[in-house]
Structure 1
């Protein structure tokens, strides 16, 4: 049976994709994916588990994409970002059609950041640390989760 190439959602679809992913994974597990900054530690833990469990990139692709949309949605909800469709140059640079734009105009690629964590591992690729060091965040009240 031939493998069907799936289209990645566009920017306007990312919020609902993230919500569906969270509903799917939290229905089976008691994961605290509540869009808090602290929940990015859970994402780090889940990605590390995939790596240590020997998941191949092609088998983990859908899960990594879901985690990437979740990370992006945390940036939207907590840092003032908005989902954007990348232009041709950004798509070529990031290797993805969508990402987030921060309040200061910078664009980031949370989907790629999750893949980097999976491929490279280690604390230097932490999604939690990425958020804490992220340039261009809106000043918001501290996350209480």
Structure 2
């Protein structure tokens, strides 16, 4: 019998979001040049100080040259997160899952750690989201299909 050990390469704790967090996403930079694009709805499945994982009906390449912006309300405040796709995987026909690495300075990363710890306490200890943009459906793919 062969056993495969998967190494967790993450530096920071990730918060698994069930139901997922709704966010608006858009492209803000390509090769360092600002872009004005429309936005689309995505479902964030997990998030941490180093990045997030989301699903979308749009296909993006794995590239550090394209910077995406995510907007969402967490614990009553609106946040913007910037990052690039470091992993892309087709989940089913027309649905893609992405891993994003954030572009962030250390003071901002420290704020993210505090924010996500507060959210984790609300979710796991008190079983409440507070004022966050949660998906109306429990399953992210179902939520995404209902909005496409």
Shorter-chain TM band: under 0.3
Specify the structure having the higher radius of gyration (Cα): 2
TM-score (norm 1): 0.28
- By percentage of residues, which structure has more helix? 1
